């Protein structure tokens, strides 16, 4: 078992004919991910990397029954690609693209309210992987190992670091989910923890958070209400200096939330073990 | 991109918002001439950071002579790490009341928020703490923008119903900064009601989303060069790096923001003080590493550099070779500790060792090592730093 | 019984301090309508025609528990007034104002999808009246009489004409609903017929339609599925010449629908008696 | 407001849509000069109605002489009731293919609709009947406008994927006519792909919502005077009346569109032929009735007038007095039948009778009466008509 993604998920790649899209489609396929097609407007009817290419997501779904999509299109087109996937009926949208303007993502979030079946991961995230089964995105397969630890993270390279330490210690993962580091994104820590909670194959979770926003605090609130999962949290940016703020608007709305201290305290209050360095995590899970 | 006050005001004026007459002055003489034309002025430091008033960056001048003296004092002063490049001389306003009007992104709500308060001015953050209800809030739908009835509610909620007409018009104009300029923050504080009854932007803050810079190249061209006060950040921006200056002496390079931030944490934990945050993203090509090192070495305080790279797809040996090339091209002699992880990490470490670079077994070891190597060091010599980009670029 | 409105409905008037708003508020009150307040931004806190005035609909609801609103504001502000009422929680919105730009009404219709509890009557309509109980709008009370005929119409003066003929013949009405003549409007014939169908006090219905659009045809489709109501329909504009059309867009989407002939045929097929003049209606209902 | 082709094209050009070079000509000489400057041209009648091509309103001219002759034939000709006031001389296009692109309001869906077809040109309505699938359709959300992926789908659905880029750009520009101009219809048919590969508006139709005229006074000022071909409709518009010309001889006035339309039905049923539709709205004040009568009497074919008023709030006696005042002010002698209903209708009828106006007991009786009174009548004399607005206004 796993969350969100397994070997039966039917995946398309938006931007499959691009450099990044091609590279990672190959990697996704080599792991066994069921990549059933790709989208690249104007290239409909052709074949790329052994899968059919379509002009639109709607066409791709009609022909392949796809239910998940990985988005690798350039930033100026990525917000539109997310909305297209949702409107066409995709239920898991994974947007790897970095650099989407925040105002576009705010509009996308509002658009998605009209498509409650569509879950968005990212943007600006490494995607997700269910070790040994399937992945959408760019998380390297070789640092992962099937198992029962759920890993959810805002940072790409820290995810790799922690995953490879876990794998090296023989501690496998159920699903690794990179939710992305952008201020406005899809699935949150809380959403993913809720899914891990319901997944019988997951017994422990690792959360890798960052300063800024209150998503870690919200996840801690959820865990504080009781969980069957053993949880370890790590927050990066504990010693980062306060940003040079311009104007008061940010301070008015965020108050004291968003600091590493506030996040760590929230987790401790919820009974979650807090790691001060990533090296400590493996030991804490034993 | 954070615009300076006068730049933000020019943009707001293009949206139809009233601003007081004003002129930019780069020298005390220019300030004096501006005052001659404008009459009594406020001489204001132009820096992309708050708190300049309390730092002495705003002075009132009634005569050209006073304006000259004010500009002499302000131009070149340091405000929160920004050297003031110029002042803005603005006609003094006869203030009847001060209102707060701000727009920003509320990342927890994943939405835009408009805020309005009758208690505008410098103490607005205190107001937010003491009586949050005195700041009226509106989350406009991002496709529709604020609707008239929502603005009516906002204005009456703020207790500003007597100014409903001019304020609603003003807020609609301010909000145009979202669709038209990809604004992340747009703030007018104080929004001044003059004794004559005009509603005028007393100050202005505007931050444009860097991710949307390609849509606003005109702004970048017109204002970009002037904005960033920190020379290393300016240079990093030119080289396309994600770089933030800090005030320590250990250079930090990492791939990925999280990894970079945790490296910073570890160095600090080991007793060191980072001189910067520098995220070189995925891949870690020689050219990018060279750019990052070059910017870090511009700073004379830097005594050593730690690089923390996790190779996702890139192989460790390739990363190692890239780092060596970069170091050699820059002729860098300062201590350099590299922590490499991922495919072929052992091979990579071997290559580093052979080339005289200290490899860290893990990030914590690397952090401890660089702190150890830089603590005992004598003040660095120009020779040890290698050729600086400033010298090479003829700056 | 009745539909939409009775003597317990708590009504506010948006634009109560205007000329039209004042005039019709008085008439509404004189019939016994429970007018609990009015809205006029900037006049909050005052009293007008014996009822409290508020700056916003939200304020009015908070203070009075209003659940219906009559809108009498000038055309440039009317679309906004409808959205305000819906967002504040009003469940029956009656917009009398004429001349709202069609594009604004299209946006309003989309906005209302977010507030399914809000039913909009109009715009550009005479409103509705439940004789002897209450009215919102401008239908003159004296031409009405309590009874069991449901009357629904696109035309204001034709409604008056038919209502007064019915009343003169001793045939009272349960509720009279003027849905308005604009191309983009709120409640349709079909919506209102469905309500009459569920109202035990209504035994017969009169529909007064016009050329243009397909709302009459849609109502006929509903009635064709079976109804307990005796129904009579009249369509005005039977002899109106075809409009001078510019371009093909209209023809492409509407085809042959919308003519008096198509509407009358649809009603006849549904077993609905069709009157050729309004004078015939009374006789047909006996 | 329905714009003429050249006006619609000017508006579309302001939205960034490519149009062929062209010039307006009010005289045959101007047409010749235009052809001299532009080379071979199409000389096109400017009327706000479709079907001018089939009516002979478009001629190709290769030389100034041909253009002059074409303009001589076209200017002043009658196309579906519109006298052609001027022609538009437009440089001939080298056509590779013709596309249909249209936007309008779908009143059944209460939504805007965009339509695109590879089978553009004069026969598009036939295409719609024969193969509706060859016209791709999109209902854009009215707040968001058409999104890129929706336009991509539209273009590929229409089988025009090879032109995706220029078409998507074009459709976005066309759609700007909705938020910017309150357009109800905006149509480019044919949208021409030239042999060079340019995408150009071959023809253009644009209808602006009269309810939004206050937002677009500039258009009204620039184009309004030229557009309506029917002189009675022009005069009615000036007087603020809802008026449509028909080709019969019995004037119709009613309050409310439905009542007015049903009066028209009844007159026709009684064997008469209405000369117009004129809705004077609620109230029926003397001044409005006078305006309506004045416009109707401008038409020399009119032999009599029927007025059908249901007094909702206004009292019948007041309406009657208003009608008499209007008739007397205009010195109207033609048969006038009035059907009055509502409060005090009996009193109103008495007043009418006393003043020589035939009152109808009900609408059907009134319709029969006016038909009877006008059938036997000799051709009307100017004296019987009273003073016409044209004579009074010095037109």
Q: Name, in order, each residue with C-beta under 8 angstroms of A87's C-beta and a sequence gap of 6 or more.
A: A58, A115, D149, D150
Look at residue B178 and tell me whether its pLDDT is greater than 70. yes
In chain A, the domains with their CATH numbers are 10-122 (3.40.50.720), 139-285 (3.40.50.261)
D17-69 per-position pLDDT tens digit: 999 999 999 999 999 999 999 999 999 999 888 788 888 999 999 999 999 99
D276-299 per-position pLDDT tens digit: 989 887 666 778 888 898 999 989
Q: Span B167-183, mean pLDDT?
A: 96
Look at residue D393 and tell me whether its pLDDT is greater than 90. no
C102-133 per-position pLDDT tens digit: 999 999 999 999 999 999 999 999 999 999 99
- Which of C24, C48, C218, C248 is catalytic? The answer is C248
CB C8 within 8 A of CB C33: no
d(CA B76, CA D140): 54
Contacts of A103 in chain B (CB under 8 A): 112, 142, 178-179, 182-184, 209, 212
Look at residue D103 and tell me whether its pLDDT is greater than 60. yes
Helix (H, G, I), strand (E, B) or coil at B384: helix
DSSP per residue, D238-267? HTT-EEEE-SSSEEEEESSHHHHHHHHHHH
Q: Which residues pair with A233 in a beta bridge?
A: A207, A274
DSSP per residue, B143-176? TT---HHHHHHHHHHTT-GGGHHHHHHHHHHHHT
- Give, in order, the Cα–Cα distances in Å from A154 to each of A102, B256, B276: 17, 11, 21
Note the CATH number of domain D231-385.
Answer: 3.40.50.261
For strands D336-342 and C146-153, give the pairing.
unpaired
Contacts of C55 in chain B (CB under 8 A): 152, 156, 161
Tokens 């050209």 belong to which residue? B64
Domain boundaries defined on chain B: 21-91, 95-222, 231-385
The pLDDT, as a whole number, for residue B394 is: 34
Contacts of C111 in chain B (CB under 8 A): 144
The pLDDT, as a whole number, for residue D281 is: 77
**Domain B95-222 CATH superfamily:** ATP-grasp fold, B domain (3.30.470.20)
Tokens 């709030």 belong to which residue? D313
CB contact under 8 A, B141 and D141: no
Q: How many residues does chain D have?
A: 395
Alpha helices in chain D (DSSP H): 5-14, 28-38, 64-74, 124-130, 148-157, 164-175, 177-181, 217-227, 231-238, 257-269, 286-298, 316-330, 345-354, 363-375, 382-385, 389-393
The pLDDT, as a whole number, for residue C74 is: 96
Q: Which residues pair with A52 in a beta bridge?
A: A47
Dihedral angle of Cα B99, B105, B109, B113, to the nearest 10 degrees: 30
Closest CA to B194 of B98, B303, B295: B98
Closest CA to C73 of C112, C52, C43: C43
A161-195 per-position pLDDT tens digit: 899 999 999 999 999 999 998 889 999 999 999 99
**Between D218 and D170, the higher pLDDT residue:** D170
Using a 10 angstrom Cβ sphere, with 0-12 exposed, 13-18 middle and 19 or more buried, the burial of residue B63 is: middle
The pLDDT, as a whole number, for residue C181 is: 85
Q: How many CB atoms lie within 10 A of CB D81?
A: 14
To the nearest whole angstrom, how far is the Cα of A107 from the nearest Cα of chain B? 5
The pLDDT, as a whole number, for residue C252 is: 67
Residues 85-104 on A with a CB inside 8 Å of B are 99-104
- Give, in order, the Cα–Cα distances in Å from C116 to each of B148, C64, C89, C90, C193: 21, 22, 10, 11, 19
Alpha helices in chain C (DSSP H): 19-31, 57-64, 75-88, 102-112, 156-168, 189-198, 215-224, 249-254, 260-269, 279-285
Q: Would you call C252 an interface residue with chain D, using a CB distance cutoff of 8 Å?
A: yes
Q: Name, in order, each residue with C-beta under 8 angstroms of C70's C-beta and a sequence gap of 6 or more.
A: C11, C12, C13, C14, C24, C28, C94, C96, C127, C136, C137
User: For residue B143, what are its two tokens?
Assistant: 């496709």
The pLDDT, as a whole number, for residue B388 is: 45
Q: Which chains touch C (3 or more CB pairs under 8 A)?
A: B, D
- Give, in order, the Cα–Cα distances in Å from C166 to each of B189, B225, C284, D49, D347: 65, 80, 11, 43, 22
Q: Does residue C26 have a cis peptide bond before it, meaning omega lies within 30 degrees of 0?
A: no
d(CA A166, CA C16): 70
- Give, in order, the Cα–Cα distances in Å from D55 to each of A170, D25, D83: 85, 19, 12
Helix (H, G, I), strand (E, B) or coil at C198: helix
- Minimal Cα distance from B82: which residue of A? A244
C87-103 per-position pLDDT tens digit: 999 999 999 999 999 99
d(CA D350, CA A21): 87
For strands B205-208 and B336-342, give the pairing.
unpaired
The pLDDT, as a whole number, for residue D227 is: 55
Using a 10 angstrom Cβ sphere, with 0-12 exposed, 13-18 middle and 19 or more buried, the burial of residue A56 is: buried
Q: How many CB atoms lie within 10 A of CB A239?
A: 18
Could you tell me how many helices (H) and strands (E) chain A has, helices first? 10, 14
Helix (H, G, I), strand (E, B) or coil at B36: helix
CB B18 within 8 A of CB B199: yes
Q: Span C214-236, mean pLDDT?
A: 94
CB C10 within 8 A of CB C57: no
d(CA B305, CA B122): 40
Phi, psi of D308 (to 5 degrees): -120, 110
d(CA B113, CA A253): 9
**Ranges of residues in chain A whose predicted pLDDT is under 50:** none
Choose the mutation target among A59, A69, A84, A103 for the interface with D, i.e. most D CBs under 10 Å. A84
Q: What confidence category does residue B73 fall into, taking pLDDT thresholds of 50, 70 and 90?
A: very high
Q: Which chains touch B (3 or more CB pairs under 8 A)?
A: A, C, D
CB D260 within 8 A of CB D305: no
For strands B199-201 and B183-194, give the pairing.
antiparallel
DSSP per residue, C119-176? EEEESSS-EEEETTTEEEES--GGG--EEEEEEEES-HHHHHHHHHHHHHTT--EEEE
D315-364 per-position pLDDT tens digit: 778 788 888 888 888 888 899 999 988 777 888 888 888 988 888 878 88
C62-74 per-position pLDDT tens digit: 999 999 999 999 9
A177: enclosing H helix or E strand: strand A173-178
User: For residue D195, what are its two tokens?
Assistant: 């042999």
DSSP per residue, A23-80? HHHHHHHHHT-EEEEEE-TT-TT-EETTEEEESSHHHHHHHH---EEEE---HHHHHH
- CA angle at A144 for the pair A139 and A150, rounded to the nearest 5°: 90
DSSP per residue, B286-344? HHHHHHHHHHHHHSTT--EEEEEEEESSS-HHHHHHHHHHHHHHHT--S-EEEEEEETT
- Give, in order, the Cα–Cα distances in Å from D42 to each of B117, C286, D55: 62, 64, 15
CB contact under 8 A, D259 and C161: yes
Percent of chain C with pLDDT over 70: 94
A81-94 per-position pLDDT tens digit: 999 999 999 999 99
Q: Would you call C208 an interface residue with chain D, using a CB distance cutoff of 8 Å?
A: yes
Q: Would you call A113 an interface residue with chain B, using a CB distance cutoff of 8 Å?
A: no
User: For residue D380, what are its two tokens?
Assistant: 């009307």
Q: Highest-confidence range of C135-144, C248-257, D146-155, D260-269, by mean pLDDT?
A: D146-155
Closest CA to C278 of C161, C170, C151, C175: C161
- Minimal Cα distance from B143: which residue of D? D144
CB contact under 8 A, C253 and D106: yes
CB contact under 8 A, D156 and A41: yes
For strands B304-311 and B336-342, give the pairing.
parallel
Q: Would you call A247 an interface residue with chain D, using a CB distance cutoff of 8 Å?
A: no
Phi, psi of C241 (to 5 degrees): -70, 155
Contacts of A44 in chain D (CB under 8 A): 156, 161
User: For residue A203, what are its two tokens?
Assistant: 């017994």
The pLDDT, as a whole number, for residue D314 is: 65
**Between B49 and B149, the higher pLDDT residue:** B149
Options 3.40.50.20, 3.30.1490.20, 3.80.10.10, 3.40.30.160; which CATH number does D21-91 get? 3.30.1490.20
pTM (predicted TM-score):
0.91
């Amino acid at each position: 078992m796993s969350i969100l993604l397994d070997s039966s998920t039917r995946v398309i790649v938006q931007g499959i004919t691009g450099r990044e899209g091609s590279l990672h489609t190959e990697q996704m396929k080599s792991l066994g991910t069921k990549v059933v097609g790709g989208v690249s407007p104007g290239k409909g009817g052709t074949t790329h990397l052994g899968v059919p290419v379509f002009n639109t997501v709607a066409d791709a779904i009609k022909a392949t029954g796809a239910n998940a999509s990985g988005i690798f299109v350039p930033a100026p087109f990525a917000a539109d690609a997310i909305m297209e996937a949702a409107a066409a009926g995709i239920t898991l949208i994974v947007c790897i693209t970095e650099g989407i303007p925040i105002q576009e993502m705010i509009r996308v979030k509002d658009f998605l309210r009209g498509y409650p079946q569509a879950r968005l991961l990212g943007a600006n995230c490494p995607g997700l992987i269910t070790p040994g089964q399937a992945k959408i995105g760019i998380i390297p397969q070789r640092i992962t190992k099937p198992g029962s630890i759920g890993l959810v993270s805002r940072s790409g390279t820290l995810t790799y670091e922690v995953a490879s330490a876990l794998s090296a210690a023989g501690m496998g993962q159920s699903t690794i989910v990179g939710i992305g580091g952008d201020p406005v994104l899809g699935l949150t820590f809380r959403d993913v923890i809720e899914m891990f909670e319901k997944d019988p194959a997951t017994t422990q979770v690792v959360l890798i958070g960052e300063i800024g926003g209150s998503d870690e605090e919200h996840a801690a609130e959820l865990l504080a209400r009781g969980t069957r999962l053993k949880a370890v949290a790590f927050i990066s940016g504990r010693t980062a200096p306060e940003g040079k703020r311009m104007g008061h608007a940010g301070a008015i709305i965020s108050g004291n939330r968003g600091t590493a201290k506030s996040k760590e305290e929230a987790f401790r209050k919820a009974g979650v073990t807090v790691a001060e360095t990533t090296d400590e995590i493996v030991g804490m899970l034993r | 991109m954070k615009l300076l006050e006068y730049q933000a005001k020019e943009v707001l004026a293009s949206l139809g918002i009233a601003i007081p007459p004003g002129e930019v002055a780069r020298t005390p003489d220019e300030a004096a001439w501006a005052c001659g034309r404008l009459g009594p002025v406020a001489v204001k430091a132009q820096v992309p950071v708050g708190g300049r008033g309390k730092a002495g960056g705003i002075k009132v001048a009634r005569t050209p002579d006073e304006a000259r003296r004010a500009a002499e004092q302000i131009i070149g002063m340091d405000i929160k790490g920004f050297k003031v490049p110029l002042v803005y001389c603005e006609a003094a306003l006869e203030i009847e009341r001060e209102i707060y009007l701000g727009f920003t992104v509320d990342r927890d709500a994943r939405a835009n928020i408009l805020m309005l308060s009758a208690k505008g001015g410098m103490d607005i953050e205190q107001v937010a703490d003491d009586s949050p209800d005195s700041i009226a809030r509106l989350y406009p739908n991002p496709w529709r923008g604020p609707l008239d009835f929502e603005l009516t509610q906002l204005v009456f909620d703020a207790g500003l119903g007597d100014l409903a007409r001019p304020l609603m018009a003003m807020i609609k104009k301010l909000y145009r900064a979202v669709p038209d300029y990809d604004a992340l923050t747009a703030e007018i504080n104080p929004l001044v009601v003059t004794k004559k009854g005009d509603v005028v932007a007393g100050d202005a803050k505007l931050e444009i989303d860097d991710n949307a810079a390609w849509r606003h190249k005109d702004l970048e061209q017109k204002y970009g060069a002037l904005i960033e006060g920190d020379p290393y950040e300016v240079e990093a921006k030119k080289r396309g790096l994600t770089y933030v200056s800090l005030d320590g002496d250990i250079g930090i390079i990492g791939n990925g923001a999280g990894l970079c931030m945790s490296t910073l944490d570890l160095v600090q934990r080991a007793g060191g003080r980072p001189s910067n945050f520098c995220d070189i993203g995925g891949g870690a090509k020689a050219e990018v590493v060279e750019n990052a090192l070059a910017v870090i070495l511009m700073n004379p305080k830097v005594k050593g550099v730690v690089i923390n790279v996790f190779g996702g797809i890139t192989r460790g040996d390739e990363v190692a070779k890239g780092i060596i090339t970069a170091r050699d091209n820059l002729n860098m002699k300062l201590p350099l500790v590299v922590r490499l992880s991922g495919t072929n990490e052992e091979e990579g470490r071997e290559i580093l060792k052979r080339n005289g670079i200290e490899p860290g077994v893990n990030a914590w070891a690397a952090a401890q090592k660089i702190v150890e190597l830089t603590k005992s060091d004598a003040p660095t010599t120009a020779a040890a730093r290698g050729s600086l980009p400033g010298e090479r670029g003829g700056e």
